[in-house]
Structure 1
Amino acid sequence: MTGSMLKKDEMLSSLYRLIYSGIIIFLLYVTGRGYLNWLENSPLFDIKSIKIEGSNYLSEKEVLRLSNLDIVKRVWDADLESAVESIKTYPFIENAEIVRRFPNRLEIKIKEKEPVALINFQGDLYSVDKQGLVLPTIPGRMYNLPVISGKFKGGIKIGSRISGSIADKGLFVIRTIITKHPYLYNDISEVFVNNDGNITIYTHNKGIPVKMGNKDILNRINYLWAILQEIKREKTVSEIKYIDLRFRGQVIVGMRT
């Protein structure tokens, strides 16, 4: 076989391989386009249900309206990131998560802002979160929360933050307890702040008044935690009339006679 014939065979072989590769690429393209067309148009992916969890402040209809998912037809068309950000614009929602459940369902999980205290304002109780945002009352819900009381100035409005030194100091006490001594939180029934900013905490068990003053509150909360633990161990709570932590380095416990 001459060199020219060998060269001709090699060229034909390369041409065949090129044609074969082209056919394969074309078939893959056609198949891929067909698959994408099926994904985009198959009724299998039409949204059949949207499950909503964790929403107490908003109805399901309101959640769907906020998320704009009520106008979306297919699971592929749902812009989940945009829907989450839109839901989070509602003042009583802390976070949201949306996931696709193929082939035709969406799930919305909502984390609402949690009340940490009740504000006793002119005899009415309003729930507030850690930052003082006044939350709506959920019908039928029992609020076993510590009460912040005092002579609040101005008004109070659901959806707005309560302001003023009395509210600020009361919420500071609540936040500090939650952060530093979370188990102490359930032992507190009331935080009273007078016009001079002096704080008195009342225990949940027997309503023992604890005079905190208006300085060095963090350290005094630490003392209170230690004292209440000792009282629980000694089972002497019924014998105690008051606890005074106002004086630096001193713990005064008044006993019932």
Structure 2
Amino acid sequence: MTPNRRRWFGHLFLLVGGVLATGSGAAGAVIAGQSVYAWMLYSPRFSIREIVVTGAETVGVDEIAAISGIARGDNIFQADPIDAGERLRRDRRFDDVFVRRVMPGRIDIFLKEKKPVALVQLDRMYGVDYNGELLPTPASDRITSLPIITGVVPEQGGIVESFAEGRTSFAEMADSIHYNVKVDRAIYIIEMIRAFSPGFVDRISEVHVDQIHDPVVYTTETGTTVRLGIGHYPDKIKQLEQILTRLKEDKIETRWIDLRFDNQVIVRPILTADAADTLKS
């Protein structure tokens, strides 16, 4: 029994005993209190019959209940909402957790699932949210549309060797990647694109940040390399959309667009016959 649960039962026992003592002797009140206490602990009336989870999107109710340590059939007074909430908060997928009892036999769990804004390639694929928090690989079809962040290695020296040998635990990896400047740069670029060109996010297959001052975006349709450089991302994103639209209209294919320089866009077209005619005209 956890300390929280022991304190709760202690207060309950004193309350029941105090109420009964108003109409009987102290000894009788204690005996009656013990009887009520035992009834509350073992009566089927107070068995947990339902666990209701609000806020889950990809993680199932049964998995969330298992993590919380509360199971159907348990006595509701022996279930510890505080301990259950702490267990759920230790799982990096959840945030804003609140657990409560609803008499006589229901547990309510409220939480928010952290949502990946991208995938990051490390020793294997992980999700990462907008704060740079590493998440277990999401079990959802939605991940196929998320851009992949590449070129990232852990920044903590002690983990580099384990990373290279594939011996890193999830917790170690998550701690080493949190506040990683390369991950932060990639997420910032993705969120800028989402803000200034929401439809374009789905056209990004990869954000490569091996060189922190020279991030590279790859598109899904043609695998075009887009070098963004540093700063002025809203203007560059608008420029990129205009360039890709114009190239599509003119039937010009390209594998390279360079936006690193102020007021200058460099495009390397693939000179098919149609593209050559278009350029001549």
Place the TM-score, normalised by the shorter chain, in its bin. 0.5 to 0.7
The alpha-carbon deviation at position 115 of structure 1 amounts to: 1.6
Q: What code does the residue aligned with 1:241 have?
A: R
Aligned residues of 1:165 and 1:197 also touching (Cα < 8 A): no
Quick one: structure 1 residues 84 and 197, their matched pair in 2 at CA, closer, same or farther if it must change by over 3 Å? same
Aligned residues of 1:117 and 1:129 also touching (Cα < 8 A): yes
Aligned runs of 1:60-209 on 2, under 5 Å? 60-65=64-69, 73=76, 87-96=88-97, 104-121=105-122, 124-138=124-138, 143-144=143-144, 145-150=146-151, 152-153=153-154, 154=160, 155=163, 157-159=169-171, 160-161=174-175, 162=177, 163-195=179-211, 197-209=213-225
Q: What code does the residue aligned with 1:132 have?
A: G
**CA–CA distance in 2 between the matches of 1:108 and 1:60?**
9
- Matched with 1:9 is none
**CA–CA distance in 1 between the matches of 2:152 and 2:103?**
55
TM-score (norm 2): 0.58
Quick one: structure 1 residues 81 and 182, their matched pair in 2 at CA, closer, same or farther if it must change by over 3 Å? farther
**CA–CA distance in 2 between the matches of 1:151 and 1:211?**
17
Quick one: structure 1 residues 220 and 178, their matched pair in 2 at CA, closer, same or farther if it must change by over 3 Å? same
Q: Which runs of 5+ in 2 are unaligned?
A: 1-35, 155-159, 272-281
**CA–CA distance in 2 between the matches of 1:108 and 1:188?**
36
Quick one: structure 1 residues 43 and 62, their matched pair in 2 at CA, closer, same or farther if it must change by over 3 Å? closer
Percent identical pairs in the alignment equals 28
The alpha-carbon deviation at position 51 of structure 1 amounts to: 3.0
Count of residue correspondences: 214
Aligned residues of 1:44 and 1:104 also touching (Cα < 8 A): yes
**CA–CA distance in 2 between the matches of 1:235 and 1:109?**
50
Quick one: structure 1 residues 236 and 51, their matched pair in 2 at CA, closer, same or farther if it must change by over 3 Å? farther
Radius of gyration: which is bigger? 1
Quick one: structure 1 residues 105 and 165, their matched pair in 2 at CA, closer, same or farther if it must change by over 3 Å? closer
- The question of 1:210 aligning with 2:226 is answered yes
**CA–CA distance in 2 between the matches of 1:178 and 1:82?**
38
**CA–CA distance in 2 between the matches of 1:80 and 1:251?**
58
- For residues 147-180 of structure 1, the C-alpha deviation after alignment (integer angstroms, 9 at most, x for no partner) is 1112525346524241543323222212322344
The alpha-carbon deviation at position 95 of structure 1 amounts to: 3.0
The alpha-carbon deviation at position 239 of structure 1 amounts to: 2.0
- Matched with 2:63 is 59
Matched position secondary structure for 2:119: strand
- For residues 97-136 of structure 1, the C-alpha deviation after alignment (integer angstroms, 9 at most, x for no partner) is 65777874344344221122222236x3222222222222
Aligned residues of 1:206 and 1:238 also touching (Cα < 8 A): no
The alpha-carbon deviation at position 238 of structure 1 amounts to: 6.0
Aligned runs of 1:14-25 on 2, under 5 Å? none
* Cα-Cα RMSD: 4.0
